């Protein structure tokens, strides 16, 4: 095993503001806003402040699924929050999410705006509001659905903050960290593969918010789209996850939702802000900036 003995933790940790790594300019050990900054507000009942990462995609896929089901009340404005530039620390954003992370939702459909943060809470809020994509209270399938939803919320930090961080982003490759998180992520893929070997979707026969939460992370991972770690993790082994990932990826609402608030990839696959259904045709980055596209 390679040595990491070049670092001895001091008695008390201190913040190295001069650190030079990918997230050095945004990571900090304190909460709260750093600057006064109002958020824009559009005309629709739901105002989403987000970015097209896997956590952000969950919500835009959910909103597109609700619209596809005919819930016109699920119309939304999706505003871009550039986390690389620290926009999650603006006062307006922090007022909606005191945890300063995307996605954050303002539900303006009732008499008073309601803030919702944490992607799992947002999915459940929307599912309950429209009585869609979650089994009803009293239906035993609801417990299965919520179990997989909360499984995702608890598991993905091992994938993103653990494996992804140490495999792709850390300035040094630390064998202990990569080994620990690769082991856990492969175990998680096996958990999913076994479940999807016995049922079509995570909850059972029906597509639910559990699939919407898990797909952007583990579907993306299985298709080799996250952290360049597909070959390393031998993701081709998880055949049932592949079958499920392909099926969900082919849904029109998923194809739309996954490109909202995206700032990377093919220009035609980036709809940086979404304010109208026609934006998918008219306002993707290849249309807005054809010369650069």
Ligand X SMILES: N[C@@H](CCC(=O)N[C@@H](CS)C(=O)NCC(=O)O)C(=O)O
Cα distance between residue 211 and residue 199, in whole Å: 12
Tokens of 21: 């790594």
CB of 26 to ligand X, least distance (A): 5
Q: How many other CB atoms are found less than 10 A from the CB of residue 225? A: 16
CB of 274 to ligand X, least distance (A): 18
CB of 53 to ligand X, least distance (A): 4
Please report whether residue 101 would count as binding ligand X according to CB under 6 A: yes
How many residues sit close enough to ligand X to count as binding (CB under 6 A)? 11
CB of 193 to ligand X, least distance (A): 23
- Find the binder of ligand X among 68, 95, 108, 118 (CB under 6 A): 118
Q: Buried b vs exposed e over 5-14: b needs ≥16 C-beta within 10 Å?
A: eeeeeeeeee
Cα distance between residue 248 and residue 237, in whole Å: 19
Q: Which is nearer to ligand X, 59 or 271 (CB)?
A: 59
- Find the binder of ligand X among 47, 48, 55, 146 (CB under 6 A): 55
Under 8 Å between Cβ of 182 and 233: yes
Could you tell me if residue 240 is left (phi over 0), alpha (psi between -120 and 50 degrees) or otherwise beta? alpha
Under 8 Å between Cβ of 162 and 180: yes
CB of 54 to ligand X, least distance (A): 6
CB of 151 to ligand X, least distance (A): 13
Q: Which is nearer to ligand X, 228 or 252 (CB)?
A: 228
Tokens of 45: 């009942």
Comparing C-alpha atoms, which of 193, 226, 212 is closest to residue 258?
212
Ranked by CB distance to ligand X, the top (closest) residue is 101
Please report whether residue 102 would count as binding ligand X according to CB under 6 A: yes
CB of 49 to ligand X, least distance (A): 10
Please report whether residue 39 would count as binding ligand X according to CB under 6 A: no
Cα distance between residue 71 and residue 64, in whole Å: 10
Site track 80-99 with ligand X (rule: CB under 6 A), x = hit: ---x----x-----------
- Find the binder of ligand X among 53, 155, 208, 270 (CB under 6 A): 53
Cα distance between residue 26 and residue 84, in whole Å: 7
Q: Which is nearer to ligand X, 56 or 135 (CB)?
A: 56
Q: Which residues pair with 115 in a beta bridge?
A: 106
- Find the binder of ligand X among 57, 60, 119, 203 (CB under 6 A): 119
Q: Is residue 99 classed as helix, strand or coil in its secondary structure?
A: coil
Q: Which residues bind ligand X (CB under 6 A)?
A: 26, 53, 55, 83, 88, 100-103, 118-119
């Amino acid at each position: 095993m390679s040595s990491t003995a070049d670092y001895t933790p001091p008695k008390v940790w201190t913040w190295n503001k001069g650190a030079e790594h990918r997230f050095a300019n945004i990571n900090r050990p304190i909460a709260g806003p750093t600057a006064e900054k109002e958020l824009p507000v559009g005309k629709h009942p739901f105002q989403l402040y987000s970015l097209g990462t896997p956590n952000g995609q969950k919500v835009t896929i959910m909103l597109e699924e609700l619209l596809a089901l005919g819930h016109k009340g699920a119309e939304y404005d999706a505003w871009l929050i550039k986390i690389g530039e620290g926009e999650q620390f603006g006062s307006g954003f922090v007022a909606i999410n005191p945890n300063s992370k995307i996605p954050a939702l303002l539900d303006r459909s009732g008499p008073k705006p309601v803030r919702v943060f944490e992607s799992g809470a947002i999915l459940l809020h929307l599912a309950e509001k429209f009585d869609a994509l979650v089994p009803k209270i009293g239906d035993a399938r609801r417990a299965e659905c919520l179990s997989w939803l909360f499984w995702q919320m608890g598991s993905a930090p091992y994938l993103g903050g653990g494996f992804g961080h140490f495999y792709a982003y850390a300035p040094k490759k630390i064998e202990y960290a990569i080994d620990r998180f690769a082991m856990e992520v492969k175990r998680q893929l096996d958990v999913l593969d076994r479940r999807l070997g016995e049922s079509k979707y995570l909850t059972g026969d029906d597509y639910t918010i559990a699939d919407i939460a898990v797909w952007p992370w583990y579907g993306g991972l299985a298709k080799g789209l996250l952290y360049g770690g597909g070959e390393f993790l031998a993701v081709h082994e998880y055949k049932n996850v592949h079958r499920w990932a392909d099926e969900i990826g082919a849904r029109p609402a998923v194809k739309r939702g996954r490109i909202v608030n995206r700032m990377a990839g093919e220009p035609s696959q980036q709809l940086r802000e979404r304010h109208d259904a026609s934006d998918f045709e008219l306002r993707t980055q290849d249309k807005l900036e054809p010369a650069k596209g």
